[in-house]
Chain A
Amino acid sequence: MKFRNNSNPVYFIQENGLISSTQWADGRLIPVVVLNSKNGIELKDFLSAHVSSIDQGDVITQWGYPFSQFFKPKVWILSIQFKKPRTFSFYIEFVLDKNPALIDAIFQSRGLYIRYGFPGEKISKGMDQDMVLIEIPDLKRDEEWNNTLRDILRSRFKKQNIDKKKLKDEVEKQIKKMREILHHRIS
């Protein structure tokens, strides 16, 4: 899916991490992102309203990339549309070179915690802040993501002058290693 510029605000990742809890999702590791933008306060207000509301839930998510990067996207965008407690739509920008592990964690866990904050605000030090867990179901983009991840890792390994014959195996090994920790469940 291609996104054109529209009125929805775009939020950028300031910090990220992973949280696992026995209280949620069979103890799976779920990524957390600290978000901000020029009008970041709108997100802060929304998260606060969401956390204090009884009527939560109903969110529509969709992966895509900017229309201007049709042939070779440098970023992936997650479109999020909340329906409750009020309608609020925004985009989260994931830079492919910087955040491949984070995107992969979202695909593996099918969830994402979002929080408002600033650069340097570590996940572990802001656990008391308003945080919302979003379910990101199977949106039929897994295969596309797997191919994109392989491309990213391949170009990284090429820069590290890894032997071309071993390149494919090294990429697969790296993906397996990345996912080993994500597939761990605490009980």
Chain B
Amino acid sequence: MLIIDQNFTMLEEINTFLKDNITLTIIVATISATIAFFVYQISRKKFRFEKAEFENKKPNFVLYLENCYKLQDSKIDDKLLLFDIRITNLSTTKNSVIPKLRIVYFVNNDKSEIVIDHNPKLFTNVSHTNLTQFSKEIRLEDREIKSGWVIFKFPQNLIDKRIDFYQLSIEDGSGNHSEIVCNLLKQIIYEVPKQQ
């Protein structure tokens, strides 16, 4: 009981002291408010930083098309579709993507489509041996930019079809994807003279 009484007396004394010194009260209140404001600012910055770090870790990649060709070589029966692409991994985590090609074409004025996979084995049919070839699965290091070629076999059943567009896409295991549409392909035709 004695202690409580003592504390109570002390609080009363402080209260009386502060009532008598309004200037000091204002200064104490201002300092407290300033400290609280700085603490809030620091917490906000920390939150922003952690949010940015979280966003950076999320899978995020961009596909850019440098060039695209349809290649026809008289040595082989198949037509090949070659795409020179650049992939930028904007994320701080590693990832791997698979390139796919969607061809939209017309069948009696109705649109139809086919999706084909990148097949690096087809590079053996290309006369240009110095192409930077992408493997079937493209591995991306954090913040890495990769450039190279992907190759697809043009489906035989589409040779006499009217193509609307080619849509090249890259997709990771979680379903994140980046895509680009190409309407105008350049054609390369290799004519090898027949041996007599």
Contact = CB atoms under 8 A, between A and B. Distances in A.
A26 B181 contact: no
Interface in A6-64: 22-26, 30, 57
A137 B186 contact: no
B70 interface: yes
A135 B183 contact: yes
Given A57-B66, A111-B183, A138-B181, 19 more contacts: A22-B187, A23-B189, A24-B184, A24-B185, A24-B187, A25-B183, A26-B70, A26-B185, A30-B184, A110-B165, A110-B184, A133-B184, A135-B182, A135-B183, A135-B184, A137-B183, A138-B165, A183-B106, A185-B162
Contacts of A137: 165, 181, 183
B126 interface: no
Interface of B: 66, 70, 106, 160, 162-163, 165, 181-187, 189
Given A183-B162, A185-B162, A23 B184 contact: no
9 contacts: A22-B187, A24-B186, A25-B185, A26-B162, A57-B66, A135-B183, A135-B184, A138-B165, A187-B160
Contacts of B163: 26
B181 A25 contact: no
Interface of A: 22-26, 30, 57, 110-111, 133, 135, 137-138, 183, 185, 187
B162 A25 contact: no
Nearest to B72: A22
Given A26-B70, A183-B162, A185-B162, A111 B181 contact: no
A86 to B, nearest CB: 18
Overall SS of chain B's interface? strand
A133 B184 CA distance: 9
Which 10 residue pairs are nearest across A and B when measured between Cβ atoms? A110-B183, A25-B184, A23-B187, A26-B163, A111-B184, A135-B184, A135-B183, A137-B181, A183-B162, A185-B162
Contacts of B183: 25, 110-111, 135, 137
A166 B14 CA distance: 98
Nearest to B65: A57
Nearest to A111: B184
A24 B182 CA distance: 12
Contact of B186 (A23, A110, A138): A23
Nearest to B160: A187
A4 B129 CA distance: 51
Q: Which of A25, A26, A135, A137: most chain B Cβ within 10 A?
A: A26
A25 B165 CA distance: 9
Contacts of B184: 24-25, 30, 110-111, 133, 135
A22 B181 CA distance: 20
Contacts of A110: 165, 183-184
A57 to B, nearest CB: 8
Contacts of B106: 183
B189 A22 contact: yes
A152 to B, nearest CB: 22
Q: Which of A25, A57, A187 counts the most chain B CB atoms within 10 A? A: A25
A60 B122 CA distance: 33
Nearest to A185: B162
Contacts of B162: 26, 183, 185
A137 B57 CA distance: 32
A3 B186 CA distance: 33
Contacts of A22: 187, 189
Contacts of B187: 22-24, 26
Contacts of A111: 183-184
